[in-house]
Amino acid sequence: MGVVYLATDTRLNRQVAQKMLSEALRENPEARRLFLEEARAMATLTHPNLVAVHDVTSFDDRDVIITELVRGKNLDEILEANGPLELDRALEVGFQLANAVAFLHEQGIIHRDLKPANAILEPEGKLKLIDFGLARSVDHLMARGTAVRGTPAYMAPEQILGPQITDKTDVYQLGVTLYELLCKELPFEMTGSGLLAHINKPAIELCTRRAGIPDEFQRLVHRCILPEPDQRPTAAELAAELSSFCKTYCGHTLATPLGHRTRQRRDGRSLNKLRNLYDLPALFHSGTTRRPHSLHTRPPRRLQRPDRRPARAPEPALTHPHPGGPGRGHHHRAERGRLPHRPRLRHHLRARSHERSRRRFGRPG
């Protein structure tokens, strides 16, 4: 849909990516609407595996999306140049991709066009998911329905036939992508023409195209591309299993990025109730689990922490009168162990604007 150019942000002195509609689609109102929806969908998201949007602007009647510059090659180019990925590399790439999609689903967004060409792998190994031109919120898809859009070879049956697209539609596309990363082939024979070419065809067993893939991993990939959406795992479950496989077969664990669970939905509702920090000390000292304060209630004004300082011994009562003598009227107070209140003195300091060596301080007046 769009064309991407390398540009320079002269205000912040940095290189950015500049995306705009192609010449053929510039006068198409529907294409322009989808283009701006992509910008709005991306602008609300912050995740290590998603491209960050810096700005949306226009010049010469052209809408432009300014994003961070991602250096690297997309997975499709890597497959063409180097062939299938090694097992450990496929697990790491698949985990990052599934983790990004799980984050989108937490925000109520379905990508609908996941494929190797829409994921860029940077030289240091970090993956960036790009191209949100077909992304839609779940509420939007349920309220208005959706036209059939996407890449046919990666489209789930329900995406073609309807009636409803869910987050499991993205999981199907993740499964097809994982399959392709491992053997550089699609799981279905695309011998027919049209969108229905692979709907009624069973997936080809992964082990027949590449040996040495663990059975558990093969079963996970095939679960993702089952015809029935309810039989597929969620994107979060897929990411967790890929992380576990990486620990088993590669010797290290892949961690979920920080902030993954504390984002908010686009409508402002909290995804997970945040624990109130005022409750944490009480939890630690009591050794029991207390229910955190509701987000709609006010926390206690002061935190009641146990005092760890040793108790002071009480001071002995004074038995002698005040040095001022009984005529001062303080003798009875001294006998009770109390001294008269010391008058409160207010000290005012005034700084004169002199050199540092001659600066003076004194009381006003």
Catalytic (active-site) positions:
113
Closest CA to 254 of 43, 33, 97: 97
Closest CA to 158 of 231, 225, 229, 223: 229
Are the beta carbons of 116 and 180 closer than 8 angstroms? yes
CA–CA dist 75, 131 (Å, integer): 14
How many residues in total does the chain contain?
365
DSSP strand E in 148-228: where? Answer: none
Task: Count H helices and E strands in the chain, helices first.
Answer: 10, 11
Q: Which amino acid is at 361?
A: F
DSSP strand E in 237-352: where? Answer: 350-351
Q: What is the DSSP letter of 323?
A: T
Q: What is the DSSP letter of 270?
A: B
Residue 138, classed as helix, strand or coil, is helix
Task: Output the CA–CA distances (angstroms, integers) from residue 175 to 186, 255, 347, in the order listed.
Answer: 10, 21, 74
- Interhelix angle 215-224/235-250, rounded to 10 degrees, is 160
Are the beta carbons of 126 and 49 closer than 8 angstroms? yes
